[in-house]
Amino acid sequence: MVVPVDRFNETMLPFPLRPAMLSAYSATNRSPSTTAGSRELDRTATESRDWQTQLKTAIRDPHQLCHELRLPASQADAAVRASRHHPLLVPWSYLGRIRNGDPNDPLLRQILPVDEELSDVAGFSSDPVGDNSSKRTAVLLQKYSGRALMITAGACAVHCRFCFRRHFAFRDSLAAPAYWQLALDAIANDPLLEEIVLSGGDPLVLPDHQLAELLEQLDVIPHLKRVRIHTRLPIMIPQRVTDEFLDRLSGLRLAAVVVVHSNHPHELDANVCEALISLVQRGILVFNQSVLLRGVNDDLATLAALSQRLLECRVVPYYLHQLDRVAGAAHFEVPTARGRHLIAQLREALPGYAVPRYVREIAGEASKTVLA
């Protein structure tokens, strides 16, 4: 499963980056805040420009979440049950975009554990896209020609309930001896690789200087041409797009690509939009990928508004993914016929560049399968 930042420990840190990273997470081993006083503290943190403080103070307690959002205690009880398998984690800056008292809020649905997650549904598995069978080293996965993906971190800023890696054994991968160096060696020894995707978890949970160390090691591998970062952090905590991060990424020899993950226009408030534009202004290509999710974005108005808002933020609406059939997420699935119909409607409503490619990942295939 994706590991909450408060459960990060030394064995999960990338070699040779362990000592410095430890300090970044040393303050995260704390119990969920439930007192009025600590809530006050967390509200203050929401306004902070310090993204690491926001990571540390993220909400982990379903009762606290429901209290803050004026939701009934019965929802908190269900969330406690479901969160035993995939813990709740949501930063305060995201909480502020969720409507109070609305159990159907599309942002809430993405982060609130519910009883449906406990259902065993045929066809839904722990590794729906074949991550485990595509491993070249403990943290290096390759599915497609010329590109490989590094599991750079085992933590995220949020736990999306539909995450296709919610059962991934980050602990095992990140505990393998010299896993970081083995991945870099494999990349350096394979001249057919042109692009490395940093993924996770979320690579941007790494502090800037640690991320820079990795980027610099990739930058000197002569056959690489691009580095791509898959991240939801600029959407969750836009303050993560720091000047140092922008300097490091835009200063590389490698062309830099950032693929963010937003599913609903309400996620893209002014702060998020500002952060995304700052990436573009530094010459970084920025794309968005969404997941088609029942009760979140499976209607024309929402998808059209999402594309429009992404373009306002200078982001290309690149992919709309059919849900990966991961155990615990069946209640989010939208039939592909419905997805195709929505894309057809989008084509009538928007210019072509604003219509994402509707794709599905099939384990073992040489590329994503375009559905529409």
Q: Which residues in this chain contact ligand SF4 in the complex, by CB under 6 A? A: 2, 156, 158-160, 163, 165, 200-202, 232, 261
Could you tell me which residues are beta bridge partners of residue 320?
Answer: 290, 358
Using CA atoms, how far apart are residues 260 and 272, in angstroms rounded to an integer? 11
Amino acid letter at 253?
R
Given the complex with ligand SF4, which of 56 and 224 has the nearer CB atom? Answer: 56
| Nearest-approach distance from CB 201 to ligand SF4, in angstroms | 6
Given the complex with ligand SF4, which of 224 and 239 has the nearer CB atom? Answer: 239
DSSP state, 95?
Answer: H
Whose structure tokens read 């693929």?
259
Compute CA distances 161 → 41, 45, 97, 261, 341, whole Å: 27, 24, 17, 14, 25
Using CA atoms, how far apart are residues 358 and 343, in angstroms rounded to an integer? 7
Given the complex with ligand SF4, which of 83 and 224 has the nearer CB atom? Answer: 83
Compute CA distances 57 → 32, 35, 40, 48, 129, whole Å: 9, 13, 11, 11, 32
Token pair for 328? 């615990």
Q: Is the dihedral of CA 68, 71, 73, 79 positive or negative?
A: negative
| Nearest-approach distance from CB 200 to ligand SF4, in angstroms | 6
Token pair for 18? 């362990």
Given the complex with ligand SF4, which of 97 and 224 has the nearer CB atom? Answer: 97
Given the complex with ligand SF4, which of 113 and 200 has the nearer CB atom? Answer: 200
| Nearest-approach distance from CB 192 to ligand SF4, in angstroms | 27
| Nearest-approach distance from CB 163 to ligand SF4, in angstroms | 3
| Nearest-approach distance from CB 113 to ligand SF4, in angstroms | 12
Whose structure tokens read 């259902």?
119
Given the complex with ligand SF4, which of 2 and 59 has the nearer CB atom? Answer: 2
| Nearest-approach distance from CB 261 to ligand SF4, in angstroms | 6
| Nearest-approach distance from CB 89 to ligand SF4, in angstroms | 8
Token pair for 202? 């979320």
Nearest to 309 by CA among 256, 273, 283, 280: 273
| Nearest-approach distance from CB 161 to ligand SF4, in angstroms | 8
Given the complex with ligand SF4, which of 61 and 202 has the nearer CB atom? Answer: 202
**H-only helix segments in the chain:** 18-25, 36-46, 51-56, 62-68, 73-83, 92-95, 106-111, 170-175, 179-188, 208-219, 233-236, 243-250, 270-281, 300-312, 336-349
| Nearest-approach distance from CB 125 to ligand SF4, in angstroms | 16
Residue 130's Cα: distance from chain center in Å?
Answer: 18
Given the complex with ligand SF4, which of 56 and 261 has the nearer CB atom? Answer: 261
Given the complex with ligand SF4, which of 201 and 339 has the nearer CB atom? Answer: 201
